[in-house]
Structure formats: structure tokens, C-alpha cells
Amino acid sequence: MSQYGYSESTPVYITEWNRNIPVYAQSPASQAYLTSVLTIYNDLWEGNDGNSSYDVSTLRMAHFFAARSFFWEENGRIKPPGITWSVYGEMVVNTPIRLQNEGGFPSDSIDSNEFNILAGKSENGSQIGVLLSRYVDENASQPNAFSAFNDTVNLSVDGLDASCDYTWQHWGMVNNDSEPWQLIAEGNFSGSTFELSNFEMNQRSFHYIQLKSNSACQ
């Protein structure tokens, strides 16, 4: 971009994407595909150097074009794809500094099996967001139902400011037709390492963990 006189911050508009794994449906069970794609876009961002294994330091917003019926019902209720973009947008706005992570694995196979992780923090360290995307589709289809299988997941966030008091919330896409996006757990925390142990995650779902403090943290 800079070679032809454009700013490095010039937005790139994505009007179509192609991956080896199949396209998603609008069902709650397929939304981890979207969060996986957004995570991979961040992995591949080359606009700045930083602190991830892909030389990425800042989360980037993607611009999505679709009919208004794609995100909302006629009564204004948000659809699952809208939840995906709402969560991602919240991360970009509130926790834009990307954090290193380990334990994830993407897929480049049509019979997809992947677990993608995207984590960030705010400029003053008072907010942290972790997005976990688990997407398994052994039949290479557009899934309209959740998997019959769950994984047991352990999450650890270390390097926190032990002098800060945090409130935390754990949200997830769950197998519930009337309310697929649910608050799973919440609480208070202080210390240098935050842990969520042995929670279940469907093999076609995404989870979002937030930590917030009322004061600036390291």
C-alpha cells in the first residue's frame, strides 16, 4: 500500500473469502467458523510488527457487507452471525492490543477440525478479552446442528497485574434454540494468573471470556 502512496492504515474491505473448509450456515452451530476466519485474518495481518508468532500486535476490524436481514430478525432480535460480529467488534474496540497465545490449531482441510484463539487487552490493561473458536465438521457440510461431542477446555491467562481486582464473565454459543448466546459463569478475581478449568465446549461453538478492572493495570 505504501509503495503506491497509500497509508498503511488504509482499510481493506473483504467482499468474499475462500477457505478449504466449507462455507457456514446462519445457524448458531456454524458461527465458530466465522470467529475462526476473523482470527486467521488477524494472524495474517502484516501491517505492523509486534508480539505474536505472526508478527501481529494489533487486532484489526474487518468490514462485512450483507443484507440487513443477515444480522437481525424483523423484530430486531440479533441472529447468530450478528453475535459473532458484535463480539469481534467489541474486542477490536476495547481490547485492541493482541496477546500471545498457545494451544490453538487451524485447519486447511475440507473435513475441518480446528481450535483458534484470539486474545487482546486494552491500552491501560484494565480489560482483557479471549475468544475461543472450536469448529469441527467431519462431513464437510454446512452445519445446522451442534456436534454430538464436547471438549473439556482449560484456560489460563498469566502475566496479570496482581494489584488489580477484576470482574470476569464467560459467554458461550450453546445448544439452545431460543437463546444460543448465554452467560455461562461470572465472578471476581485478583492475582497474576486467571484460570477457568474443565469447562465444556461443544465442537461447533465459540466462547468469549472478559476480564475487567475499574483501574489501570500493567
Q: What is the 3-state secondary structure (H, E, C) of 153-208?
A: EEEEEECCCCCCEEEEEEEEECCCCCCCEEEEEEEEEECCEEEEEEEEEECEEEEE
Which residue has 502512496 as its cell numbers? 5
Q: Give the pLDDT band (50/70/90) at residue 52.
A: very low
Please list the alpha-helical segments (H only) found in the chain. 31-44, 80-94
Q: Residue 195 has what pLDDT?
A: 97
Q: Give the pLDDT band (50/70/90) at residue 63.
A: low
How does pLDDT run across 82-117, given as a tens digit for each residue? 899 889 989 989 998 888 889 999 888 888 899 999
Which of 35-44, 79-88, 106-115, 145-154: highest mean pLDDT? 145-154
> If you average pLDDT over residues 66-91, what whole number do you get?
80
How does pLDDT run across 175-191, given as a tens digit for each residue? 988 889 999 999 999 99
Amino acid found at 88: Y
> If you average pLDDT over residues 55-70, what whole number do you get?
58
Q: Give the pLDDT band (50/70/90) at residue 8.
A: confident
Residue 131 CB neighbours (<10 A): 27
| H-helix or E-strand spanning residue 195 | strand 193-202
Q: Residue 210 has what pLDDT?
A: 97
Q: Residue 106 has what pLDDT?
A: 85
Q: Residue 61 has what pLDDT?
A: 63
How does pLDDT run across 113-141, given as a tens digit for each residue? 999 999 999 999 999 999 999 999 888 78
Higher-pLDDT residue of 58 and 100 is: 100
Q: Residue 98 has what pLDDT?
A: 86
| H-helix or E-strand spanning residue 156 | strand 150-158
pTM over 0.75: yes
Q: Give the pLDDT band (50/70/90) at residue 53.
A: very low
Q: Residue 58 has what pLDDT?
A: 66
> If you average pLDDT over residues 187-201, what whole number do you get?
96
Q: Give the pLDDT band (50/70/90) at residue 54.
A: very low
Q: Domains of the chain: which residue ranges? A: 2-213
